[in-house]
Chain A
Amino acid sequence: DTGVSQNPRHKITKRGQNVTFRCDPISEHNRLYWYRQTLGQGPEFLTYFQNEAQLEKSRLLSDRFSAERPKGSFSTLEIQRTEQGDSAMYLCASSRQGAGSSPLHFGNGTRLTVT
C-alpha cells in the first residue's frame, strides 16, 4: 500500500490558463474521489468515479472543470480558463468500496494558486 499519490504538489498559474492535476489511487481501490478545500473550510465534494465511470458530479463543478479516469486507474482533473476563485487545495481520495462502508484514503493534495 503506497498510498494515494497526487502531482504536482503545488501549481501556480496565471488567470485564464489551463491546469491539469493527476491522482494515482491505491491500486486495488475502485472508487476515486476529488474534493476541493479552501482555508478554514472542510473538503467539498467535486466528483467521484467507480472504476472508469464518473457517477456523480457536484453542482460546484462548472463547465470549466473536467475529470477523467481512463481504464479505471489514475485520474486527471483539468480546470480550463482558471479564475482566482479556483485557488484551493485539490484533494484526491480512493476507497476499496463505497464511501459509506470503506474509509477514504486521501492523497497529500495539489495546492493551486491562481494569480
Chain B
Amino acid sequence: QKEVEQNSGPLSVPEGAIASLNCTYSDRGSQSFFWYRQYSGKSPELIMSIYSNGDKEDGRFTAQLNKASQYVSLLIRDSQPSDSATYLCAVIPKFGNEKLTFGTGTRLTIIP
C-alpha cells in the first residue's frame, strides 16, 4: 500500500463549478497534511496546510481532514482556468517529521 494515494485523473471541471480532490494516507499516526499545486513544467507550491480534523478555508480553497478515515480532501470553489494544474497531496508520517511524502498528484483541468 502506498503511503499517500491520489486518483491521478485527469479530472475535468467546468469553469465556476466546485473541484473536489481526494487523498488517502496509510500511516494512522500522521499529523501534518498539505496540498501543493504544480503547474506543468514548474515546481510545486504550497496552497494549504491542515493539522486537525475538520475544515480549513482560505479564499476559494477548503481543505478537509478526517483522521479516523485517513482521508484528506481539497475543494476549489468557483473554479477558474488558472486552477488547471496537478494537485499534490503531501503528508508528514508520524515517525518522520521532516520527510514530506507526496502522492502521485491529480491532474485538474478547468473547462472554460
Residues on A lying within 8 angstroms of B by beta carbon are 31, 33, 35, 40-45, 48, 50, 55-56, 58, 91, 98-101, 103-104, 106-109
Contact = CB atoms under 8 A, between A and B. Distances in A.
The 9 closest A-B pairs by CB, nearest first: A42-B102, A106-B43, A103-B46, A100-B32, A100-B92, A99-B100, A43-B102, A45-B99, A42-B104
Contacts of B58: none
Interface residues of B, number: 24
A44 B98 CA distance: 13
Contact of B104 (A31, A40, A98): A40
A3 to B, nearest CB: 10
B43 A40 contact: no
A106 B44 contact: yes
Given A44-B102, A98-B97, A103 B49 contact: yes
Interface in B80-111: 88, 90, 92, 96-105
> Per DSSP, are chain A's interface residues mostly helix, strand or loop, or mixed?
loop
Interface string B42-57: 1111100100000000
Contacts of B4: 42
B62 interface: no
B45 A106 contact: yes
Given A56-B96, A99-B97, 8 more contacts: A43-B44, A43-B88, A48-B98, A98-B97, A100-B97, A104-B44, A104-B46, A108-B42
A40 B86 CA distance: 10
B8 interface: yes
Interface in B3-21: 4, 8
Contacts of A99: 32, 92, 97-100
Nearest to B44: A106
